Amino acid sequence: MKTLSAVGALALAIAAAPAFAADLPSQKAAPAFVAPVAPAFSWTGFYAGVNIGYGWTDNNNVSGLSSFGLLPVSAWSYGASNADGVLGGVQIGYNHQFAGTGFVVGLEADFQGADLKGSTGGFGFGLLPSGVTANQRLDWFGTVRGRVGYAVLPTLLVYGTGGFAYGEGSTTLSYVDGAGFAALGSENGTRTGWTAGGGVEWAFLPNWSAKVEYLYTELERGNAIGVPTFPAVLLVSQRGVENHFHTVRVGLNYHFNLFGAPAPVIAKY
């Protein structure tokens, strides 16, 4: 009898086991999250920034002539003014990187305040020996340039650049000769010309890049200097000093949406 009771209790427990298991909480695996995929780096977009650097004039010769009426008195020629100094300014531009390649083209404009100045001088010879001194200044300049480059690394761009240049320069002249006559003169104005160079730009943070750039610039000479003095028939004339100069500068750019919108987070269950 006891054996039959034990067997019945065991059978009842076995029958009730599925129903009890159904009441237990469900244990499902946690969903697998996939990390967001970073958008492909691209140089395409607008940018703006600031720069600072150093400039110096190229070697060139200056020539002039003094005369009594039509009679030449003294002629001179001497070397460059060796003007140099600091410069700084702003730039704005646009890049386009061709999809699937490292080739980048763009357009950039900049405006620079400058403090390039220097002096030069020499002696003239003819009927009268003379001494001449010229002072040169470049107060500001700007450029509008195309850029063509290649991203040797996704965030490292090497480029060449060239285009139109303009700026304001001035020259002052002092003259004295063996007869004791002295003269002063000056010229200034806006010059135009061209520029060319190259640089390296590195995107070191999202939307930020730093660059190092070299430019060679040639602006036209100023107009001739004519200085009448006592006696009035004495005329001293000289072409303005050439404005050929080199610049090296470092810059910081902010790129608008350089990397594009962030990719969404995708979850798989």
Q: Which tens digits make up the pLDDT trace of 242-262? A: 788 999 999 999 999 755 544
In a domain, 157, yes or no: yes
Question: What does the pLDDT read at residue 63?
Answer: 79
Confidence label for 1 from pLDDT (cuts 50, 70 and 90):
very low
How large is the average pLDDT for residues 158-169? 96
Structural domain contains residue 68: yes
What mean pLDDT value characterizes the chain? 82
What is the reported pLDDT for 139?
93
Judge whether residue 214 has pLDDT over 90: yes
The pLDDT value recorded for residue 67 is 83
Assess if residue 202 is contained within a domain.
yes
Question: Does a structural domain hold residue 3?
Answer: no
Least confident of 15-19, 77-81, 114-118, 121-125: 15-19
- Domain of 103 in residue numbering reads as 46-260
The pLDDT of residue 39 is 62
Domain of 52, CATH number, reads 2.40.160
The answer to whether residue 168 is domain-embedded is yes
Question: Is there a domain that residue 7 lies in?
Answer: no
What is the predicted pLDDT for the residue at 31? 58
Mean of the pLDDT values across residues 67-78? 81
Q: What is the reported pLDDT for 153?
A: 95
Answer whether residue 173 is part of any domain.
yes
Residue 132 has pLDDT above 60, yes or no: yes
Report the share of the chain in percent with pLDDT over 90: 43
Domain count, the chain: 1
Residue 12 is assigned to a structural domain of this protein: no
Q: Please state the pTM of the whole predicted model.
A: 0.77
Reply yes or no on whether the pLDDT at 268 is more than 50.
no
Kindly tell me if the per-residue pLDDT of 5 is higher than 90: no
The stretch 180-192 carries a mean pLDDT of 86
**pLDDT over threshold 70, residue 20:** no
More confident residue, 224 or 10: 224
Q: Please tell me the least confidently modeled range out of 8-17, 57-66, 170-179, 206-215.
A: 8-17
Q: Are 73 and 114 in contact (CB under 8 A)?
A: no
pLDDT bracket for residue 181 (50, 70, 90):
confident
